[in-house]
Amino acid sequence: MPGTEEIVQTAFEVEIQARIDAERARLRAEAGLARMREFKKPVERTFTANERDYVTILFGGLTWKHEEMIKAVFHGSGYRCENIPTPVVADFQAGKEFGNNGQCNPTYFTVGNLVRHLQMLEQQGQTRKQIIDNYVFFTAGSCGPCRFGMYEAEYRFALQNAGFDGFRVLLFQQTDGIKAASGEPGLKFSVDFGMGMLNALNLGDVINELAYQVRPFEVNKGETDRVIHDSVKTLTDTLRDRKRWHIVDAAPTWAKPYLEKSGKLAGISCTLGKIGHNLYGKEYLDALHTCRDSINAIEVDRLRVKPVIKITGEFWAQTTEGDGNFNMFAFLEKEGAQVLVEPIATWIAYMMYVAKEGAKARADAEAPYRDPKWYELKKRLANDFKVFKKTGGLSAGSAMWNFFYHRTIKHMGDTAHHLIPQKELSRLAHPFYHQLARGGEGYMEVGKNVYYTVNHLCHMVLALKPFGCMPSTQSDGVQSRVVNKYKDMIFLPVETSGEGEVNAHSRVQMALAEAKAKARAEFDGVLQETGKSLEELRDYVDQHPALKQALYKVPHRKGLAGTAAQFAWHVSELIDKDGAYRRSTRVSARLQRVA
């Protein structure tokens, strides 16, 4: 039995705890928190299959090239779909009006853009109930340990404040793939839809890079934009209207009875056939080659000296083409730079790599058998097999993703940049940033900065990120050490928001002046080393029209970053190998002296 002292001690502790609870209750009451309840995620009305005929899916936030491709796939799969216009400053202001305080600008721009679009539908005569019933929003979800993880709740909060309470949100989780915030069954992911989205993303990436690759050097101003618009229409028409392949239509007559008897055989054959048709079908490849030839017909002058500016940063800020990043791409081109944009494909490759490396790192902790002896082969194989089940599919998926992206590049002229191996980016970043440190672009910002600098693939790296973005701030802190190690690196981080465009452009101009000087010195060095004058190079190019084609593939010379420097060296080598041209040049020079 407890002694008297223990009983007194227990009673004393109970009394103290009671007083603490009473005081806590009083303070809660004063603060209006007396009726606190545990937060539960609101149950959202589902998007059902029978709503597909009248419910329109809204989405946005990418380049207009990507959005047109994605919309075509949705339409071709039988869905109603619209892309919201590129966000502007007014959308940012609407996002701040209806959303919570302290959010990053992708949140404000995106939700403000959505709210103002719904308000426009209301002004056109639709009631709020019709809008809530007839539209859903398709967007990205969490990418790491930042406020981006709360986007879904922020969208609902802002929509509720704007009077659209109950508006549905379909969520694309960047780390978990495609889900719905409501567990909806209305969005069915068929083989045709999945392969169509693969093609849409790859085509959007490649044609977006080609636009920025060609436009700075076009001879006829505006021609690139016109050709790119026509090419996007050709590709979207193909993605939307192409005939859907089916085994019943394609199989020979003698095979149809067997397929009818075996549903499993028919299903596997149909799936494989659809994949092959979407990737290798004549209609699809003909569309790619038509666009390639149209773009290649643009006349360019590659001897214009322009600094190459590599864009990195937070996913949304480095992708959008509007007020969300101060219209930075158009500004850079106006200032005489060549912009090297980042494809969405890089982000997808990064997700697969991090998932695979994370599984390897957790292998020992999740192993069925802990520390098996060297002779316990069965246990060791069981452990290895569990890791393989998690990493094997990711390795295969990563290899296939790279293959099909590079295949698209090949069919579109083979001049767009290939994806950098994630293992290489991770290796370069590792002295500064661990590969499993999540948030934002993780190690990629640091890895890309080092990769493009040490391999002389750009003159300057410009990192675009949202104001107050936690992962980007973390990355910028690391970049100070990176810049200190690589003395010739020009790296500029710019935080974007709804304001501050003049200040951001001013900062970029100052760094750009240094990059321009670097590009000019590089080009002059090539002229000096080759012993050729600019007039001599231009004369040779004028006599060989193929060198003026937009998709003429210039061999990369190690140590040179600028397009003009690369091209000047290549033309110099062509002149040195062209004996007939040199003889004709000498004859012309003699005739001029005689005259």
Write the DSSP assignment of 487-498 as a string of letters.
Answer: TT--EEEEEE-S
Is 426 a domain residue? yes
Is 108 a domain residue? yes
- Going by C-beta distance under 8 Å and a sequence separation of 6 or more, which residues neighbour residue 58? 81, 82, 83, 84, 114, 117, 135, 136, 137, 138
Q: Last residue of a domain, which of 123, 153, 178?
A: 178
Is 185 a domain residue? no
Q: Are residues 120 and 264 in the same domain?
A: no
What DSSP designation does 526 have? H
Q: Are residues 161 and 269 in the same domain?
A: no
Q: Are residues 366 and 479 in the same domain?
A: yes
Q: Are residues 240 and 113 in the same domain?
A: no
Q: Which residues of the chain have pLDDT under 50?
A: 143-144, 148, 173-184
| Number of compact structural domains in the chain | 5
Q: Are residues 419 and 391 in the same domain?
A: yes
CATH number reported for the structural domain that contains residue 112 in this entry: 3.40.50
Is 302 a domain residue? no
Instruction: State the pTM of this model.
Output: 0.85
Is 44 a domain residue? no
At 53-98, the pLDDT tens digits run: 899 999 888 899 999 999 999 999 889 999 999 999 999 999 999 9
At 109-159, the pLDDT tens digits run: 988 999 999 999 999 999 999 999 999 988 765 544 555 456 677 788 889
Is 151 a domain residue? yes
Q: Last residue of a domain, which of 296, 330, 346?
A: 296
pLDDT at 190: 83
Q: Are residues 334 and 367 in the same domain?
A: yes
Domain that holds residue 10: 1-36
Q: Are residues 203 and 333 in the same domain?
A: no
Closest CA to 412 of 231, 165, 262: 231
Angstrom distance (rounded) from CA 445 to CA 378 = 42
Q: Are residues 584 and 557 in the same domain?
A: yes
Three-state SS at 28: helix
Structure tokens at 477: 């802190």
Q: Are residues 59 and 81 in the same domain?
A: yes
Q: Are residues 317 and 288 in the same domain?
A: no
Q: Are residues 457 and 322 in the same domain?
A: yes
Q: Are residues 103 and 58 in the same domain?
A: yes
pLDDT at 579: 79
